[in-house]
Structure 1
Amino acid sequence: MINSFYRVITRFLAKEPVLLAVYILITLLASFQQYALPEQIIDTSKLPVSNYNNYIIFKNSFFHLLSGRNLYALHLTEQWDLFKYSPTFALFMGFFAFLPNWLGLALWNLLNSLVLFFGIKYLPYLNESSKVKIRWFVLIELLTAIQNSQSNGLILGLLLWSFIFLERGRLIWATLFILLSSFIKIFGVVAFVLFLLYPRKPAALLYTFVWTLLLIALPLIAISWQELINQYQNWLVLLQNDHAGSIGLSVMGWLNTWFSVYPSKGLVVMIGGGLLLLPLLRTANYQYYQYRLLVLASMLVWIVIFNHKAESPTFIIAIGGVGLWYFSQAPTVINRVLIILVFIFTSLSPTDVFPTVVRNLFVLPYVLKAVFCIAIWLKISIDLITNDWETSAPVRTLKQESNRLFF
């Protein structure tokens, strides 16, 4: 009786319309909750700050761009904290800027959720059961990002779409989606490592060059050339100063809090980059889809755990990589243990499931949100280097004609 009931519930939750409705409903409820919460007073500013301040920063950037103000200066009478993205992203926020906040916030969060939802849906070769499990697995972490009105769900979705188009041999769209993610948060450029796995590299370089020029120049439809140069110069100054700011929930933070080691951020990133690229020396494995998928998973985790500014809402990107790694292959005991630890300490630790005292005494000081993602990234790297892909994974050629989607 219990098993029968479990199967009925499982089949119901696996239905595409049900899962889509859950994503939309959770996104809207979280958006309206954040909108309805009373403003807070931050001691350092003495000004009221909304609970969707990130969205306000994004929205205001559009008006700051049009008015010629420095996008990257503090505008404490309007918002708390700095805008850290590209002038092109500021222009993009014009789609939301004139909407009332309750509607703009909801649509912004829906964009994040749905680009990710359909990115997972259209991943090639994975069976439907795996796609359903991945979408349920990332949902709590997506909610954390939504509650902070962040852009990380959108970035994960864009990177998944770039992989989808790479698998279909459509380099023109793959390059665009990676660059769109990079013009939101610059660490998206790491995804270009995926292009090493695919043929037609000269074409990829050409598309990248053309799209980059277009995206850099896009704000010229609203501002002058000199104003655009000034904004990019201001952005560069911000990024240079930002690099020295913190160590975040990252490998640097883990080394610091666990071992009292204070390595150079540049050195840590260089070593991490070398380890990320090391499995790619096995060029004969590029023909295996499971190998390419695990490189994607490794890259998604890498760009979070080696990001010195990583914070809790950023981890939806890493959790996406963890989900791809685990649910795309047969489970093993060690993999099952690792994903349970990630689910507990990465996804659940920011929620009310964890008592505040436990979070403050253990989770935050010891960077536990990142630790088990780091462990899984090392496991993925070892698997990529040591697995016998010839016997464990079928060859999958590029899908260029079937499953054409809507492009």
Structure 2
Amino acid sequence: MLANQTVVKTGSKKYAQWALSLWLSISIYCFIQSILRHRLNNYLIFENTFFNLIGEKSLYNAYPTIHDDANHYGPIFGLFIAPVAMLPRWLGFMLWNIFNCVLLFWSIKSIKLPNKNLVYFIALPCLASSMLSQQFNPATAAFIIFTYTLRDKHNGFWSAFLIALGTMIKLYGIVGLAFFFFIKDKKSFITYLIMWFLILFFLPMLVSSPTYIVQSYKEWSMSLAIKNATNIGSLTNDISIMGFVRNLVARPISNTPFLIVGCLMFALSYLNFSKYKDDRFQLLILASVLIFPVLFSSGSEDCTYIVAIAGVGIWYLLSDKGVWRTILLAAVILVSFDFPLMVFPDYTTQHPFAIKMISLPYFLVWLKILAATFKLRSAPEVQLAADQQKTVLL
């Protein structure tokens, strides 16, 4: 028996090493492609936030001579990107991609879930899309996952840090509060959370000034409001379940009714009070948390789904074997390749509904996750362990 477990662990480690090599290869390949095709726009936006921060220039103005579009991340991001922004551009860009790639890989590795190597391969199409776009989204997903896996580490010290950092960079990090009910030392966690929000608010002032940072937060709020308004009706943004419905009914419906319904649906899982200590229940909540902000954000792009697909992978490993499980996973992977825009760019431009459909399989998976949290009512208590190598049935 011990020999079999050793073989399984050795095989699992080799798969993980092979998966990491594949992820790094994709990251380097996308870096080379971006350099050859001069597609560095997102990285140039990120890099410029650091120089604007230390120069006390507006973080949210357009700088058409440097890059297209504008920055939409919080002031702390200027410091976050500083280590690579100060390097030669080609080196900083390469390390930025590698950092995002490795951080997400490491976070998935930290999840106590059997057969989790499969998640690395499920995520491949979204990883490639994100790497080609030089996105921060892999780090966003990693922050959310680490918020869960580190929730009781040093009484929630690092989990609170990641919630504060993720929120003050891109707002998505706020969903990490969904794990509050699973934290053992809640008082310490709240203390750390307040402490980190204050530290991260004041930290950029060390390289700028208090007046500038306060004004930057005001500008950030305005830029997000403007960005949300322009996202609705956009071809490459609002690839969410909200955008799907808006295109389906051909009406510019406000985000508010979607968010109210979505939050209520998300909260229903928490009515299953008796399962709060069940590892499977907590992992299903993690999967739900990863998918929710992408489905209900007008800023979601195809490359944003690297956040959601990690949740799909967790759901898949926790689900019963069955035809619908396979069909849904296949649908998620298929739409993640973004075939409509690649194969039929003209048609997709004229019919945005084709690309908005990316959100539909993810939404169906999210509904399955919500339903699964209630199935646990009659399920026997079976705790997952990091070294278990068996399928967990709901």
When normalised by structure 1's length, the TM-score is 0.85
Q: Give matches, 1:292-311, under 5 Å.
A: 292-311=282-301
Report the Cα distance in structure 2 between the residues aligned to 1:357 and 1:331, rounded to whole angstroms. 39
Matched position secondary structure for 1:217: helix
Residue 169 of structure 1: CA displacement? 6.8
CA distance in 2 between partners of 1:169 and 1:96 (Å): 29
The amino acid that maps onto 2:65 is T
Distance 1:361 1:69 in 2: 38
> 2:116 aligns to what SS in structure 1?
helix
Question: What does 1:101-120 align with in structure 2 at a 5 Å threshold?
Answer: 101-120=89-108
2:44 and 2:67 in contact (8 A); partners too: yes
- 1:140/1:347 contact within 8 Å kept: yes
Shift of 1:361: 6.6
1:273-288 correspondence to structure 2 within 5 Å? 273-288=263-278
> Which of 111, 121, 129 is the equivalent residue of 1:123?
111
Per-residue deviation at 1:348? 4.8
Report what 1:380 is aligned to. Answer: 369
Per-residue CA distance 1:89-118 (angstroms, 9 max, x = gap): 112221111212211111001111000111
Relative contact order (alpha carbons < 8 A, sep ≥ 6): 1 or 2 greater? Answer: 2
Letter in 2 for 1:380: I
Q: Provide the C-alpha distance between the structure 2 equivalents of 1:153 and 1:384, rounded to a whole number of angstroms.
A: 26
Q: Which amino acid aligns with 1:120?
A: I
Q: Is the 8 A contact 2:104 2:139 kept in 1?
A: yes
- Aligned in 2, Cα 1:274/1:116: closer, same or farther, shift over 3 Å? same
Identify the match of residue 145 of structure 1 among 130, 134, 150: 130
The DSSP-based 3-state class of the residue aligned with 1:394 is: coil
Matched, 1:74 2:62: yes
Amino acid at match of 1:182: T
Unaligned runs of 5+ in 1: 1-10, 38-49, 400-407
Q: Indicate how the Cα distance of structure 1 residues 199 and 281 shifts in structure 2: closer, same or farther if over 3 A, else same.
A: farther
Q: Between the two proteins, what is the percent identity of the paired residues?
A: 26
Moved more, 304-313 or 11-20: 11-20
CA distance in 2, matches of 1:366, 1:77: 30
Q: 1:13 to 1:367 in 2, by over 3 A?
A: farther
Pick from 128, 145, 155: which aligns with 1:160?
A: 145
Matched, 1:187 2:172: yes
Q: 2:224 aligns with which of 231, 239, 263?
A: 239
Q: Which residue of 1 aligns with 2:307?
A: 317
Deviation at 1:141, TM superposition (A): 0.5
| Residue number among 296, 316, 322 corresponding to 1:326 in the alignment | 316
CA offsets, 1:245-273, max 9 Å, x none? Answer: 22301122111122335432112111111
User: What's the offset of the Cα at 1:25?
Assistant: 1.5
What do residues 207-243 of structure 1 show as CA deviations (whole Å, max 9, x unaligned)?
1100100111111210111111111111122122223
Please tell me whether residue 34 in structure 1 is matched to residue 24 in structure 2. Answer: no
Match of 2:7 in 1: none
Task: Give distance in 2, aligned partners of 1:175 and 1:332.
Answer: 38
Alpha carbons 1:182, 1:188 under 8 Å: kept:
yes
Alpha carbons 1:255, 1:262 under 8 Å: kept:
no
1:202-221 counterparts in 2 under 5 A? 202-221=187-206
Structure 2 residue runs of 5 or longer lacking an equivalent are 1-10, 233-237, 387-394
- Secondary structure in structure 2 of the residue aligned to 1:166: coil
In the aligned structure 1, how far is the partner of 2:355 from the partner of 2:219?
35
Larger deviation, residues 217-226 vs 321-330: 321-330
More divergent stretch after superposition (138-147 vs 343-352) = 343-352
CA distance in 2, matches of 1:229, 1:262: 33
When residues 351 and 119 of structure 1 are mapped into structure 2, their CA distance, relative to the original with a 3 A threshold, is: farther
Q: Distance in 2 between matches of 1:392 and 1:343?
A: 32
Whole-angstrom CA distance in 2 between matches of 1:245 and 1:361 = 18
- Give the structure 1 partner of residue 212 of structure 2: 227
Instruction: Count residues in correspondence.
Output: 371
| TM-score, structure 2 normalization | 0.88
The residue type equivalent to 2:256 in the other structure is G
Q: Distance in 2 between matches of 1:280 and 1:169?
A: 25
Q: Distance in 2 between matches of 1:110 and 1:73?
A: 28
CA distance in 1, matches of 2:12, 2:214: 54
Deviation, structure 1 residue 351: 7.9
The answer to whether the Cα contact below 8 Å between 1:290 and 1:393 also exists between their aligned partners in 2 is no
For 2:174, give the aligned amino acid.
V
The 1:344–1:13 alpha-carbon spacing in structure 2 relative to 1, beyond 3 Å, is farther
Q: Which moved more, 1:172-181 or 1:57-66?
A: 172-181
Q: Which amino acid aligns with 1:378?
A: L
Change (3 A) 1:333 1:294: same
User: 1:346-401 CA deviation, whole Å, 9 max, x = no partner?
Assistant: 3453785x45467557675451211111111111112213x03452451469x9xx
Q: Could you tell me which residue of structure 1 aligns to residue 391 of structure 2?
A: none
CA distance in 2, matches of 1:358, 1:14: 43
Deviations 1:36-95 (A, max 9, x none): 11xxxxxxxxxxxx4110000000111111111110111111111110101111122211
CA RMSD of aligned residues (A): 2.2
Report the Cα distance in structure 2 between the residues aligned to 1:133 and 1:358, rounded to whole angstroms. 34
Q: 1:255 is matched by which residue type in structure 2?
A: V
State the AA in 2 paired with 1:377.
W
Q: Give the corresponding residue for 1:403.
A: none
Name the CA distance, whole Å, in 2 between partners of 1:366 and 1:329: 28
Seen in structure 2, the aligned counterparts of structure 1 residues 345 and 115 have a Cα distance that, compared at 3 Å, is same
Q: Secondary structure at the match of 1:24?
A: helix
1:367 is aligned to 356
